[in-house]
Amino acid sequence: MQSHNPYAPPAAQVEDIHDAPSDESIDALPVSDKWKVRFKAITHAGGAKLPNIKSLQKDERRKAYSFNILAFLFGPFYYIAKGMWKKGLFIFLVGVLLIIMLSIGLEALGLGKISKALGYGLSAFFAIRANMDYYKKMVLNENGWW
């Protein structure tokens, strides 16, 4: 008989790292075929951190880690449309605050022309992170930080 300690902290459920989503579970997701191909490539690359990205063939590697042009153009609105509105608004607000602070600093240094290009950096951040964030939401059931 096992004794139960009522003062022990609750035990967390630890997932096995080898329990990667299968291609069949990705096929069952309510997303387009294009997203399913991307999700499978990310899964074959080892998941969200892409530890096996170099072992993939070039075309599959490109699908696993690609630049999302719609996220570049629409940024937080793209995240809102995909159901990741909390993360999209947070990234947007933090990005705008950083851009304002950097613009003030660059203007003070006389580099005002550089400060005009900072908005493209925020758009590029959205474009690079969008596919991975959507993978986390749809395949891993993680919806941002909360």
Q: Please indicate, yes or no, whether residues 49 and 78 belong to a single structural domain of this protein.
A: no
32 with 84, same domain: the answer is no
Q: Which of residues 66, 98, 125 is at a domain's end?
A: 66
Provide the whole-model pTM. Answer: 0.82
Tell whether the model's pLDDT for residue 13 goes beyond 80.
no
Q: Are residues 93 and 130 in the same domain?
A: yes
Q: Tell me if 125 is assigned to some domain.
A: yes
By CB atoms closer than 10 A (0-12, 13-18, 19+), residue 53 is: middle
If asked whether residues 81 and 135 sit together in one domain, one would say yes
Residues 42 and 62 occupy one common structural domain: yes
Is there a single domain that holds both residue 60 and residue 104?
no
First to last CA, the chain: 38
Decide if pLDDT at 28 tops 80. Answer: yes
Q: Rounded CA gap, 64 and 56, in Å?
A: 9
Identify the pLDDT of residue 31.
Answer: 95
CA-CA distance, 79 to 93, in Å (whole number)? 13
Residue 81 belongs to what domain range?
A: 67-146
At residue 42 the predicted structure's pLDDT band, cuts being 50, 70 and 90, is: very high
Phi, psi (degrees; rounded to nearest 5) at 105: -65, -40
**Tens of pLDDT along 90-136?**
999 999 999 999 999 999 998 888 888 899 999 999 999 999 999 99
> Is residue 92 in some structural domain?
yes
CB atoms within 10 A of CB 62: 12
Backbone angles phi, psi at 85, to 5 degrees: -65, -35
Tens of pLDDT, residue by residue over 43-53, are 999 998 999 99
